Every structure is written in C-alpha cells, then in structure tokens.
Structure 1
Amino acid sequence: MNAPAVTAASQRRRRPHPLVLLLRWTVLLTLIVAIVATTAIAFAPAPRVAASPLALPRPSGEPVSVAWPEGVARAAGYAVAGMDGTQQRWGDEDAVPMASLTKLVTVLTVLEEHPIEGSDRGAEITLGRADINALGAAIADAAPTVQVFDGMRVSQRDLIEWSIVDSAGNAMWSLANWAFGSIDGYLAAANDWAERHGLADTVVDDPSGLSLESRSTAADMTELALLAVADPIVLQSMGMERVAVPGGSAANTNPILGDGFIDGGKTGTLRVWGRNLLVTAERDIEGEPRRTVAVILGVVTQDAMNAAMLALVDSLWDDFGTVTLLPEGTPVAEYRAPWGGSVQAATAAELQTDAFGQHLPAPAFQPAEAAGAGIAVGAPRGEIGTVSALGIDGEQTQVPVRTDGMLAGPDVGWRLTHPTTAIGWYFD
C-alpha cells in the first residue's frame, strides 16, 4: 500500500499551533518558577530575632524604723549619703530659725565662689577695722567669737574652721564679707545658692545665724547636711575635735562628736528658739562604710538633744542590708519570632545589692553587644547580656543572663503561607 503523499497542507496539520506552543512553554516556565520560588522560600535564611525585655519584679523592703524625737523637738530629718530618695522628715513643716546651722550655708556658698583644693589653706586674708567691729557685734549678741586684730593675717580655711568647730560668729562674718565684698553681696549670693541647690524653703538673713530670719525647714536642712558631707573641706572641719584659735585652742561645740559613730556635725543655739543639731555618722555595715546625716531642730535642753540625736542615728543602722532583687532563673527577656518560635533568657544567678529599708534600686537588663541584633535560629544556649543594679554605695552589681534553649526556625508550612516575608529575608 502506498504511503500518503507528504504535502504542505499535511505538514501544517501535524505542526502544533503557535498558541499551543506558547501555552506549553508558559506551563513549563511556571513550573520552573514555582519550583525555584518554593525552594527559595523553603530555604530562606530566617532572620535574627531581637530581645523583648520583660517586666522585672520589684521587691519591696521593710519600712525604715526611725526613733523620731517626739515630745522633744519641733522637727527632724535624716538621709543616707549617696542614695537618692532616702530623705525623710518629721514634725513641723514650717521654716524655723537655723541658728548657727546657717554657717554651713555660708561656708558652702563661699567655697563655690572661692574653692580650696586638697590640703591647701586657701586665700590669705588681711583683717581690718570692719572685722574688729564684727567681733564687737558678736560679743554684744553673746555669740561665740575668736579674738582678732586690725591687720591680722588669716587663711580662708582658718575662718572656716573657727566658724564650724568653735562656731565663732565674727569669723563667719569676716569670711562672707571678704568673699563677696559686702554682707549684702553675700546675702544675694547665699540665697541664690540655696535656690540653685533645691533649698526652696531656706532664707539667709545673715552669715552666722544670729538673725531669727535666717530660717529653713527640716527637709531643707537634711539636704544641706548631704551637701555639707559631699564637700571634703566641710566634712573634715565638722569632724575636728579641736581647732587652733588665737591664744590657744577650742573644742568642737558638738558634745556627741565621737559617740554613736557620729564623726561630724554642727550645732546651733538661739536663746529665743532653742537648740539645733546637724550630724553625720559613718559605720561599717557588712564590711562596707555607710554614711548617714540627721538634723534635729528646736530642742530646749542639751541633754535632751544629745539623747534624741543618738537614738535617731542608732535607729537607722539596722535598716541597711543586702537584699536579693532577682532570684536565680528570673525571666528577663524573651525572643519571640513572627512564626511563633520563642526562647526566654533568665538570670544565671541571684542579683543581690545593698539597700536601705524600702529604698531598693531598680534592676535593668543590658543586652551584650554581640547579642544586640538578636539571636539566630538554632543558636545554642548562651549568655546574651546582664541584668544589673546600682547599690547605695554607687557600685554596680550584675549577673549574667542566659537563654534557656534554642530558637526553633519556621516550618515549611509557615514559610509557604508567608512567601513575601520569607523572600524578604534574602534582602534583610
């Protein structure tokens, strides 16, 4: 049988139509793209996951037990040096006469204008007729004095020590007048100093506190005590047992200096008001030095003042101690991925710190520099930062924070249902 003849028409009938060819190629390319895209999505490198800090528990300490001078004084206050927020006050909230506690304002104001470095004695000052007149005025007011004469040369630090240790009123007048050129100039500077240092209820009307209008509150005087112990010259002067004065030496007017760990202070007395006392005390607690300040205002008798101050200061020591801010294993941060995987990071040890009563520092989480961008999928357990707290001595304590497992990656199902996200990981 003869084969059918091959003609142009028969060849056209056997060749696929161009549209069929286009469809076939389109299907093939689509399959190839789908396979490539699926592969790309399935194997897209998952990004690092950043930490989300968790709310840390805030332990509460016990209230401070204070022996306030009830029935003895008009007002009182205390604070822990170097620890913000510990200032507490009791009694009359009104401003009362500062008496010779005013001298601390004067000394601090002068030292800000004319600072003294280290063991230097400061400027040399030649006293004149105005200083002799100030001596006479102090004697007339029955104030403590030191003997001076016209042309006498003294150091800036002599006048500071005479006024703080021996409470010499004329020495304070001479220091203020020298430092600012006049008493009016001093008063403007002292009241500006008080305002700038947050002593909003303090008014200075004279350098020595002989004026009843030099007034302040227990809260302000407690802050003044903190400012005084922060200045090494003032702190050293307040702690001197005796000071050399013209013609001999004078004992510190603070009768309880050296008792009950009290190592400094300033007295103040006005016959029409009563007795004021500002002290500072330092004691080793659990091997660390802790400094407190206290002030009591408006006491009638010296014995009552001594007993009240010693009791107040002594009542503070048992409120210092070491506390556990965060137990071991406390969750600090969480790494939660958009695909649902999550890992927590927790403290690897107890975070302990020094504290005072209810005043506990807030712990803070700090990621390590290497972990700042997050952790990778499948990364082994490891240290990713620290959690720390600032103790009352200004020292920072910290413990490491470690992840508790490996972060699982996204499965294929999640990747295929979030293709845009997965492809975007190639460009992150």
Structure 2
Amino acid sequence: MSLSPARGVGIALGTLAILAVGVYAPAMLLGPLPDVEIRTAPSQPALPETTPVALLDAGASAVALVADDGQAELVATSGDEGAAPIGGAAKLVTVLATLDALPIEEGERGPAIRIGPEDYTDYLRYSAEGSRALAVSPGETWSQRDVVRAVLLASSNNHADTLARWAFGNLDNYVTEANAWLEEQGFETLRVADATGLSGDNVGSAAELTRLAALTLAQPTLGPLLSGDGASTTTDRRVPDVVAHLGGEGIRSISRSYTDQALLSFVFTSELDGETSRRMVGAMTGVDSYETLDPAVLAAVEGMRAASTPIEVIAQGASYGEAVAAWGDRADLVAVAGRTDAAWGAVPESASVEVTPFATAPAGREVGSVTVRIGDRDLSSVLELDEPISDPGPLWRLLNPGVIVGAFLAD
C-alpha cells in the first residue's frame, strides 16, 4: 500500500512538530538566562563638601601630615613651588647631617667640642652684624648636645659653623657632605651653601621643607628637644629658645628666621585633635611681615584641624545603582558598610561601581563593590542586592527564544 502525497506531507510535518517540541522546549527551559543589566544610579548619594586648606598666595607655603613612619604626606601647597631661599631653615640640614654622621647615643651628651679662636671670631662677627649669635669664649668646651641645642633652639649662627667644622673638618667639606646627604634622602630642590642659612644660595621648596621638618621631629635627639621631652639638666648650658613663636596657639616652631633674600622663613608643627591624634608640619617662606605670617599660620593649622574631621564618603545602605533583568525583575545595589575618612582638603570623586556578571541571585547576595577615591586613597564597600532577581519561569522562557539563544551564544 502506497502513501498518498498529502499523507506523506502530513507525516513529515507531524514528525517535524514532534522534533521541534522535543528539542525547542528543553532548550528554552534549560538554556542560560542573560546577565542582568547594571545601571549606575543617576543620582548617587551626595558626597560631603570639603574645604581646601587655605594658604598664602605670596611666597611659598606647604602643609603636610606626619605619617607613622615619620615621613611627611603633603596635603597642600601654594605660591612658588620651585626652589627659593629658605633662610635659617638651612640649620635643620646642619644638625640632621651632623647627627647622621655622628649620632648622639640616647641619654648621652656626646663628645666635648672645644671653642677655638675661629669659633670666637665667628661669635664676634655675627654679633657685630646683628645676626643671631650665642656667646662663647676661647678655650671652653661645649658638649655636642649643647651645640646642637644652640643651633636648633637659639638659631645661633656661630654654633652652626662650629658644629659643621667639628663634624666635617671645614665649612667647604660640610657643604659638600650636606648636599650629598640631601641627595641621598631624595630631596630635589633643597641645597645648602653654608651652615647658617644666611646665604641666599640656601634654597628649597616649601613642600620639601615639610619633609625636612618631619625628619627633624623623627630624629632621636632633635625630636625630644622640640617636644619638651629633652628637658635641660643641671649639666646643660643655658640655651634660649628664640625660635619659639605662637606657642600659646599650640604651635611648636622648628625654625624661624629673617634674611634679606628669604624674608621671613617659618617651619612649624602642631598636634591635630580628632578621633586619632595626628601631627602636622608646615613651612612658609618669602613672607614680608609677622602681620602677614601669623594669621596665615593660624589659618593653615585651623584648616588642617578641620580637614582632619572624618566625613562619610560611602553611606551604609545607600543605593549606588541597580540590576535590571530582561524579564522585568530589578534590585538596588546597596552598600553593605559605610566608610568614613578625613578629607585633608581633598574632594571625593564620583563613586565607581564594579559588579560580577550574574543572571539570578537572592536578596542579600554580595555582587560587587563601590569605590570612592579621595585624594590618593581609595575607600570601598561591598554591594549587595536589596531584592531577589529570580528565574522568570517557563512561560517567559518559551515566549522569548531570541533572548535565550543570545544568552546561549554569549555563554
């Protein structure tokens, strides 16, 4: 018995239909779903406003934080950022370079330094010029620690020369060795031409002076002298603290001088109150008067204290975007934890969202992270879904073959 053409076509179509149902339905029901679309929130949580630390436009100024390792972390600068005369701040190089070559053991006074004719002549010359000088007499001896105290606290020019000659043989050798020390420490603009700072060829940037200040505070002999932990004893010579200035405002002067080339040069430090106490250092050079300098220093310190107050950079529970599925499900991407940090004058940047691709996930699933950069620091929090993204079910799958096939090909 032969089949009619019509019956043959019917059987063929029926066979194709059975095959289509047998293949199509499982493919659609078991095929992969497309990943959700991630949409960054058009209006992310408002970032707090921060105020940059105010500094003088005239001359050169810089402020920095003292890090745990004793290094200066620059916060703000203003004015001339190149090398300019630094005045008496050059004496900080004198004591640091000397103590690096000939350190004083903790609790010791160091070797005795005999005052010779050249040292006495220096005292007479500087006194006649009206430059800072501390009295010495030929033949007397000073301990190394006392000479260092005279250079650091009294800003004594004759003691700076005495210390440099004693440590390096003569002043020319000192200049060579001190500049080599500065290069070893990574200073690019700081260079010295003498031990006193009276020459206009002692130059550096305000930013690098903050580094020099941080090194001074970290030095085992100098730090205690400036903090008061190195109190004078009955065996110490009397050395006046002539660099002290604005002490009643919580400011410790590290160097204070006036020269024709550098004008007023002021290097200082202050403790910043906050959740965790931090220390700042600052430097200002090329300032024409104390009427200009003092308000500027106080404003810089106050600005640093304000900048040290932690601000909320990432808000816990805030939405930083949404996940949207092709079948209509959606969920917010919310921050699991809040993040706060001190701005230090920096402005938080817009949030950056990263999400690992997924198609379905329950509510509370950690799916990515949000990061906000503030200054040179990145703050991050995990992101989770506030609602589930569920499987759309068989009917949607069967009615959207193009989406399923596209997901299959992409997978």
Compute the TM-score of the two structures, normalised by the length of structure 1: 0.66
CA deviations over 1:40-79 (Å, ceiling 9, x no partner): 22222437659676686673635457485x9xxx635242
Q: What's the counterpart of residue 276 of structure 1?
A: 265
Alignment length (residue pairs): 390
Aligned with 2:251 (options 254, 262, 277): 262
In structure 2, distance between residues paired with 1:173 and 1:146 = 17
Q: Does 1:170 align with 2:153?
A: no
1:250 alignment partner, SS class: coil
Aligned with 2:227 (options 239, 250, 264): 239
Aligned with 1:28 (options 15, 31, 56): 15
In structure 2, distance between residues paired with 1:210 and 1:59 = 48
Q: What's the counterpart of residue 403 of structure 1?
A: 385
Do the aligned partners of residues 187 and 299 (structure 1) sit closer, same or farther apart at CA in structure 2, a change above 3 Å counting? same
Letter in 2 for 1:421: G
Do the aligned partners of residues 177 and 123 (structure 1) sit closer, same or farther apart at CA in structure 2, a change above 3 Å counting? farther
Q: How does 1:132-143 map to 2 (within 5 A)?
A: 132=116, 135-136=119-120, 138-139=122-123, 140-142=125-127, 143=132
In structure 2, distance between residues paired with 1:324 and 1:409 = 37
Q: Which has the larger radius of gyration?
A: 1
1:248 alignment partner, SS class: coil
CA deviations over 1:143-167 (Å, ceiling 9, x no partner): 5458699998966x77655532343
Residue 180 of structure 1 and its aligned partner are, at CA, apart by 12
Q: What's the counterpart of residue 61 of structure 2?
A: 77
Do the aligned partners of residues 288 and 377 (structure 1) sit closer, same or farther apart at CA in structure 2, a change above 3 Å counting? same
In structure 1, distance between residues paired with 2:184 and 2:137 = 29
2:343 alignment partner, SS class: strand
1:46 alignment partner, SS class: coil
Do the aligned partners of residues 87 and 412 (structure 1) sit closer, same or farther apart at CA in structure 2, a change above 3 Å counting? same
Aligned with 2:27 (options 13, 18, 40): 40
Aligned with 1:377 (options 338, 351, 360): 360
2:26 alignment partner, SS class: helix
Compute the TM-score of the two structures, normalised by the length of structure 2: 0.68
* Contact 1:67–1:315 under 8 Å retained in 2: no
Do the aligned partners of residues 215 and 26 (structure 1) sit closer, same or farther apart at CA in structure 2, a change above 3 Å counting? same
Do the aligned partners of residues 132 and 403 (structure 1) sit closer, same or farther apart at CA in structure 2, a change above 3 Å counting? farther
Residue 278 of structure 1 and its aligned partner are, at CA, apart by 1.1
* Structure 2 residues without counterparts, runs of 5 or longer: none
1:163 alignment partner, SS class: helix
Q: How does 1:134-283 map to 2 (within 5 A)?
A: 135-136=119-120, 138-139=122-123, 140-142=125-127, 143-144=132-133, 160-167=148-155, 168-170=159-161, 172-174=163-165, 177=168, 182-190=173-181, 192-193=183-184, 196-197=186-187, 199-200=188-189, 202-222=190-210, 224-226=212-214, 228-229=216-217, 234-240=222-228, 243=232, 248-256=237-245, 258-270=247-259, 274-283=263-272
* Contact 1:134–1:174 under 8 Å retained in 2: no
Do the aligned partners of residues 193 and 54 (structure 1) sit closer, same or farther apart at CA in structure 2, a change above 3 Å counting? farther
